[in-house]
Structure 1
Amino acid sequence: MGDQHNSDYPKYTEMKVVKTVLVEDEGAALRRLEKLASNISSLNIVGTAKSGRDAIQIINNTKPELILLDIELKDMTAFSVLASLKNSFKGQIVFTTAYNQYAIKAFEVAATDYLLKPYDEKRFSQAITRVIDRHGHLNIQKLTETLKHGFLQTRTSKFEIIEGAQIHYFYSEDIIWIEAQGYYCLIHKLDTTRVLLRKTLKEMELSLPSESFVRVNRSSIINKNYVEKESRNLMHQFFFLKGGFKVKKSSKYLE
């Protein structure tokens, strides 16, 4: 049985060992990625990072030949990380992402591969095969320009929220969820900042694009694109959102 299982995956033992850095902002995802990478003898893991800032330092210090790079980190995007490496990094990149709105075609052209979460062992192995088979080095300047262009092209149109005499402008993908706080609403953004507006949740609900946002309980509106999992027990159901947020689900608002 063991031989049959192994035959489904490429054999790496006689191939060149590739210095690799893993960048994932979620602890469980990083541990899983590290386990998958450790099972391939052609990958030598020389560093791991859970933030863009740490990634830049580790990559500059270790000069890897491959980066497995999460696109949306808590403190910055992959674009910001790469823009800081253009004078030092000469290897290859495999992107990992849970959000297919991020210019996947641009990544296919400029990067070695991308892994759309949740990916399995076989798909991970295929990506590493592409790394091993690919010759030459990545043009970081070209990649960052391609990534920037793709990132800007895939952003949704701005929408506005009126607060008294002020008008606030937002992009849907910048907001993870919104919670009611009395006569105010607290907006939790992807970049970890928060915005407090004097609006009721009902007023806020009428201002938001319905294709991205849904009210899930009396005091919460979530961005459907940032739901990572749902769970339930005998009494309650919850949405788990990017950034570690846990929001209760109410069937009353989701009928």
Structure 2
Amino acid sequence: MNTLTVALVDDEPLALRLLKSMLEEFKDLEIVACCRNGREALQAVFDSAPDLLILDVQMPGMNGFEVVRRLQGDTMPLIVFTTAYDRYALKAFDVHAVDYVLKPLDSRRLQTALERVRQRLQQTHLAQDRNCLGEKGRLLNSIADAGPQGGLSGESALAQSFSHRLAIKDRGTIIMVNQQDIEWIDAAGDYMCVHVKGETHVMRSTIKDLQKQLCPDNFKRIHRSTLVNLNCITHIKVLTKGEYFLTLTSGAKVKVSRNYRQPIKEFLDSNHTTQQTASKAS
């Protein structure tokens, strides 16, 4: 099993020493930094690029959520939050933390969190391997298929091949994601979280720039920080005040704000018209 590199962050020296001593019991884990504040945490991620950041929520100056917002997408480690208060749990998962461990810390609970981290890393590595091995062959095949008979030059075919994919840079590797597999995308600070078949890929971009790379017929902005793939909507719940809750194919639920409800209204109207036409035809 590969060694898991970890940076620890807690403003309380006693809590930091306790966490370090508990994690030292895990032989397949390497502690690369112990940080006492958010500034030190950002520097540790920049210097060491750890796999995991175990991060206290409440810290003076810069709390744990602010640390996550300031991290750049291409250096983003997995996050496990620690805190004495459970009221932050929902917000922790909103920023896509792997786990949320309450204090006082327990070795068994920490072990569960580390197992979840390893599962997430394994899923990411498998996806990267599949994309890296298969991309060159798919690209060459698409160029060959669109040769003289297809009427496209190699350069045009290359551009077309990438038009339905999104390139995501993750720790020195570029992952090519099929746009049709993307369910939704949300912004978190200076990076975007791209949700694909139960996995979350992180990339550095603004929502405006990212939207330009996506098919405008399929991807609509439903919130100032959220894009959704219309083809992945399975249920729409109409709320008061003109808002909606969307359920997607993975079961994820996203909210449509009033200021961005028009695309969903048009989506509902078009589907209603289609159903009426099909009913008349039958």
TM range (shorter): 0.3 to 0.5
Rg larger in structure = 2
The TM-score normalised by the length of structure 2 is: 0.42
The TM-score normalised by the length of structure 1 is: 0.46
